[in-house]
Structures are given as C-alpha cells and as structure tokens.
Chain A
Amino acid sequence: MPSALTLYSNGVLTMRAIQVLTTLCLTTFAAVSFAEVSVIVHPSNSATVDATAIERIFLGKEKSFSNGAKAVPVNLESSAAEREEFETKVLDKSSSQLKAYWSKLIFTGKGTQPSEATVSEMIELVSSNPNIIGYVPSSAVTDAVKVVHTAQ
C-alpha cells in the first residue's frame, strides 16, 4: 500500500491517490458501519421470528417463541462491534438507553439481562439448543444455525 506521502505528486492529488483513498474510505466505512448482523436460531426452530418478536424477546418482554417454546436470548459480548450494531438497528436503542432500560427491570425484580457470549460460543450455543436465540456477524454464520433476520 502506498504511504500517504506518495499519494501526492508535486502537491497534486493523483488519480491513483484518489482511487486508493476512496477504497480506503469505503473499506473502513463498511467495516465500521455496515457489518451485517444475522439473528440466528437452532435449525429445528420452526417459530416465526420477525423483527417485532426479536425486539420483544431481547427486551425481556416476550419469553416464548410464536410456537410456544421458551425463548432464551443471548447477547454478544459488550465489546463486540456487532452488539452495538444489533442494539441500534434491531432494538433501536443506544447502549446507554438499554442500560437504563435494563436497570429499571433488574432493580424492580421484573427481569434479568440476557447472558453474553463470544461469536464462537454463540454458534455453539444456538446450534445445540432450540430455545436459544442469538446473533452473530453474517460472515460467521455456519450451517449449524438458521438465520431468521438480518440487519445492516
């Protein structure tokens, strides 16, 4: 990759430099803002899992899937970029708004926050238990899980 200095030729931004910068910008932008998140369940889970159901399950408001089976949501670790992606795109809340939301429920005995897992743990959990619903970056999806919703 050319260094920043070589992008300039006599003070003029060359065509090549513009191409490189554009590519860099797009790549960075894609990595930060457009990582696609896939919501996943066990392949045998036949329930209808739409955006509303996902939101309710992850906010602790709905505790079962549409087919009546118990629904256990699992979050990605709070350090994962896709966690924030999921929270803003699917739950439509910032992480501090969600913290405030959960503190109301936790400290009044109304609910407990979903457990957390890494991406590999998430695939393992969801593929081994039909009650679990989680999410991973779409690039990490395997045949062992079923994608019910994507957000980007």
Chain B
Amino acid sequence: MKLPAFSLCVGLVMPFTAHALDVNSIDINGFGSIIGSMTSDEDENLYGIDDEFDFQNESRFAVQVSSRLSEKWSATAQILARGEDQYDPTFEWAYLSYEATSNLKLFFGRQRFKQYKYSGYVDVGYAYPWLRLPQGVYSVPFSSGDGVGAAYQTYAGDLEVNLQYNILGSTIDDFVPSTGGNPSTIDIQLSHILSLDFNFQQFNFGANFAYIPELSYDILGADPRLQGVFGQNQAGQDALDGLVAQGLISGAIANDVRDLKNDDIEVFTWDLYAGWDNGDVFVLAEYSDQNFSESSLADQESWYFTGGYRFGQYTFHATYGQDKNDASTDAADQLASAVNAAVPPGFQPDSLVGLVAGVNALQNAQVEDSEFYIFGVRYDFDAAVALKADYTTVMDDDNPQREAEIFAVGLDFVF
C-alpha cells in the first residue's frame, strides 16, 4: 500500500514544490508468498521439503517501511517472517540511504549480498516466474550483511549501466549446509561485492563478484562426525600430531586437515548472466562459481538456462541446470594414502582409523553432481497476485539421497 493521498494533499494544499510530493511521506510496501509443496516419495527430502504437503516450509511475508527524512536522506526497514522459522521476524534490510546525485545512491546499514542476478530480491517471488529460484545458485547462506554500499546508474547512449559496490560483514547463527547437519554459526568478515548490470534494448546482462577475506564456520557444531577429529576428545588430534612427529605425514597435510575446521576461509565467488526478453518470450542463462580456500566447504559451480512464453495473463517456463560441488581440498585423500603407506590397513590403531574416516566423510559429504529441471506456470489473475505451480526434478548420480521430485503451488503477491 502506498500512501499517495497524504503526500498529494500536502502538495495540493501547500504551494507545490518539487519535493513536496515525497518529503515526509511514509511508504508501506510488502510482499509475500504462500506456498504449499511436497516431494513425490517418502524417501525424498530436499530443500527441507518432504512428502507431507506443507504450507509452512516455503511461505514468507514481509513488510517494508520507508520514510524520506529530507530531500536526500531516507530510512528503510524490511522485516521478513519465514514459515520455516515459525514466522519469527527478522530485519533483512535496515538502512539509511543518501541520494548523493540523481545517479548515485549510498546505503548505510543492513543490506543484501548481491552475489547473483536475483540476490537482491530473492524472497520477492512476485518479481520472477518460478515459485522457487534454482537452488544450485540461490541457496547460499549469506543473504544480508551490515556495512555500506553505493549504487550508480547511468546511460551510455541506449545502454543502461548499473554499478553497485558493497562492503558488508555478517554473522549468521543458524546456517545449515546443503549437505545437512546441525544449525551452526557462520561469521563473515567485511567483504567486497561488486555488481555490474546492463540493459540494452531487450537484452539484460551482468556480472557479480564477491570477495570474502575471512569466513569462519563452526563445523564442529554442524557435523558431529568430526568431534573425534577436532573435538574435545583429543584422540584425533593426538593421532594427527603423532603421524607428523613420526614423519609419516608431512606437516603440510596435517595443516590441510586442520584447516577443515573452517576458522579462516578465504572465499571468492563470481557470477555471469545474460538474458533477452521481448515482453512475450524470454530466455536467461546464469552461471556461478564459488571458490573456498582449503576448507570443509565445497567449491561450487552452478548454472541454469531458462526460457518462457507469456500468453496473456499466463507465463509458461522451463529451466534446466546443473550443480557441481567439488571438495575444496584433497587433504582426506592425502591423509588416507599417507596413513596406509605408513601402517598397513588392518594394523592401524582406532584413533588413526577414526581420523581417516572422519576426514574422508567430511570430504565426501561435499561432493555433488546433480542436474535439475523445473517446469512451471504463472497466472497473473489479479493486479498484484500471481498464482504459480512448479514441478522440479533433481537428479544426482553420486548421491541418490539428494534426488527428488517436488510439486509446489502458491500465491505470490506484492502490496
């Protein structure tokens, strides 16, 4: 709901100045998605969805309040409540903005990490055709951060240029990795995110780059299998130290293994996308790549290609994509071969076996090589409400547990 009446009244009653239309007005906007989803089989559990039809898991509701404080300054807060969090509200955005020029806007406070094309409005289902964005790309934990940002927009002839630069840090205390585990804390030091977006006639293309100098992640809390390796039980640590002391493995391998604790990871992600949309037909491809320095978090490579056709109030769309996760370290392989070379299998003490198994499990848990299809329809049956239905099928040759067929139906709305 916008409140133009008030601001217009101000304008009509007072001598009408250029800014009277905006100053002192409060805009209340919001969006939401009511989505019901289920998998096709009781063995299938993906994105938190299982074979019980459920309206809570993917539904969400947000309210944004924005007030212009003066000609140049505005304050905005966006409060989002997710069904999966029992509608416990959180501030996704909370910032002061300053319009330095008509082309340049500065942001101070809580903002989104814009790592991908849709990152800024990932939860605004109304703004895209799917019910659920392709999860290979859009399942990253760092959604919002605190810091500063600058957005610059200009034209070079017919080419519209948008540049955005953010420096953001963040702490997330309930991250669950895609490979499963307990909620755990991720801490991201001030990171640099650069986004470029271009529009030229019916083409839209761009790139996003993010550099996180230090990410720490409490893997011990997330993955109990590692308690034996790094936990309070010193057996794993002692076994590792013993291997080094006896010259059976190099200090470098031992360090790689210790690095799996994830307390000092350097992350670089980049993303490219290109699309074309003539109003009736649209196509879009996006490719993303995430690299972690040696850690227990997997390097990830994801892409998708989507296309659709708008037919009156209906949009039909289809998407194909692949997600490939590789271990960001070969510490487990190196450790296993060094241990086996030093002590024949069968003669290894339990502490060594536990160490190798724990590290190996951690490395293998990261690996993913999946592909997916999404078929869906969107029906804009009312001014600000869209009814959508999606079918998603995910196939993973390496890990049948991550395969699933998901049916979803829902309403996306904005106000």
Q: Footprint of A on B, CB under 8 Å?
A: 2, 4, 7-8, 11-12, 16-18, 21-22, 27, 29, 31, 62, 64, 66, 76, 78, 93, 95, 97, 102-103, 105, 107, 111-112, 120-121, 124, 126-128, 151, 153, 155, 160, 279, 313, 380, 383-384, 386, 414
Contacts and interface: CB of A to CB of B under 8 A. Distances in A.
B21 A103 contact: no
Contacts of A56: 155
A116 interface: yes
Contact of A103 (B8, B16, B27, B414): B414
A107 B121 contact: yes
Interface residues of A, number: 36
A50 interface: no
A148 interface: no
Contacts of A106: 27, 29, 64
A108 B102 CA distance: 17
A121 B127 contact: no
The 6 lowest CB-CB distance pairs between A and B, nearest first, are A108-B120, A63-B102, A96-B380, A131-B18, A115-B4, A129-B16
B414 A125 contact: no
B16 A104 contact: no
A110 B76 CA distance: 11
Interface string A19-44: 00000000000000000000000000
A109 B106 CA distance: 10
Interface in A101-120: 103-104, 106-110, 112-113, 115-117
A135 B277 CA distance: 27
Given A103-B121, A121-B12, A115 B383 contact: no
A62 B160 CA distance: 10
A123 to B, nearest CB: 12
A100 to B, nearest CB: 5
A96 B313 contact: yes
A115 B7 contact: yes
Contacts of A63: 102-103
A16 interface: no
A128 B4 contact: no
B95 A109 contact: yes
Contacts of B29: 103, 106-107
Interface string A76-106: 0010000000000000111111011001101
Contacts of B380: 94, 96
A72 B17 CA distance: 11
A129 B17 contact: yes
A58 to B, nearest CB: 14
5 contacts: A95-B383, A99-B384, A107-B31, A109-B111, A129-B17
A113 B11 contact: no
Contacts of A95: 383
A47 to B, nearest CB: 14
Given A107-B64, A109-B93, A100 B126 contact: yes
A104 B414 CA distance: 11
A45 to B, nearest CB: 12
A109 B2 CA distance: 15
B114 to A, nearest CB: 8
Contact of B127 (A70, A78, A93, A104): A104
Given A56-B155, A100-B127, A109-B97, 4 more contacts: A104-B127, A107-B29, A129-B11, A132-B21
Contact of B126 (A61, A72, A99, A128): A99
Contacts of B62: 107
A86 to B, nearest CB: 16
B2 A116 contact: yes
Nearest to A79: B383
A63 to B, nearest CB: 4
A61 B172 CA distance: 34
A138 interface: no
Given A72-B21, A99-B384, A116 B121 contact: no
Contact of B151 (A94, A100, A110): A110
B153 A92 contact: no
Nearest to A73: B21
Contacts of A109: 76, 93, 95, 97, 105, 107, 111, 151
Contacts of B120: 104, 107-108
